[in-house]
Amino acid sequence: MMTSLHREKRVKWVRRFISKGDFFWNKVIFSDEKKFNLDGPDGNACYWHDLRKDERFFSKRQNGGATVMVWGAISPYGVSPLVFLNGNQNSGKYCETLDKALLPFSAEMYGEMENWVYQQDGASIHRSRFTRSWLNEKGVRTMDWPAKSPDLNIIENIWGIMARRVYLRQRQFDTIEQLKEVIEDVWATISGELLQKLYRSIPRRMLAVLDGQGRATKY
């Protein structure tokens, strides 16, 4: 639930960053984790869509099923390797994921550490002392991120598009291996054109937050 304090902090964050231009945002690597179920997405899947077209929603069976958790990141120039996460995650496992996937990806996209900034949400394993120490040791610069702000995190829109494509025509899966294969195939279809469109949407998102006095936006 978004409180008045959350809204206040979102507005302050936007006022801090709204003057940043494409040069700044194109250096930001956005990241997040996402859960996929064998039997469909959780509830109604949200995704970034052309407002001139009808939205699509996906239902989920009530009896549950096995799940797959993945970590991914994006830049305007491409997507990171997709990492399938095993078991309950902690700070150590999270940093292993970053070492295995984020650091090689950032080096390929940007070269030197000072050429990019890492975005992550406020999950406890992301902001733990262990993780902060690891990021500092590796020289990874992170940006402040307001709580309750998935509408500002453009990778959330990628996850929504992924769900639409993975579960096309309400598809369900019999095995984890089958689901993983489709997730990887769909991740590989994320185009540079789509990524650049999402990056260009960031100023509009921030204006929408200001217009709504910090409330959640249509994004």
Q: What is the pLDDT of residue 45?
A: 40
Residue 69 lies in a domain: yes
Profile the chain (219 residues) by mean pLDDT over runs of 10 residues: 97 97 97 95 52 44 73 98 96 98 98 97 96 98 96 97 93 95 98 98 98 97
Residue 212 lies in a domain: no
Residue 159 lies in a domain: yes
**Is the pTM of the predicted complex or chain greater than 0.85?**
yes
Q: What is the pLDDT of residue 48?
A: 45
Q: What is the pLDDT of residue 63?
A: 44
Domain that holds residue 94: 21-201
CATH code for the domain in which residue 94 is found: 3.30.420.10
Q: What is the pLDDT of residue 52?
A: 39
pLDDT in tens, 183-216: 999 999 999 999 999 999 999 999 999 999 999 9
Number of domains in the chain: 1
Q: What is the pLDDT of residue 53?
A: 47
Q: Which own/partner pairs from 100-106 qualify as long-range (CB within 8 Å, at least 24 positions apart)?
A: 101/71, 101/73, 102/29, 102/31, 102/73, 102/140, 103/138, 103/140, 105/29, 105/73, 105/75, 105/80, 105/81, 106/29, 106/140
Residue 193 lies in a domain: yes
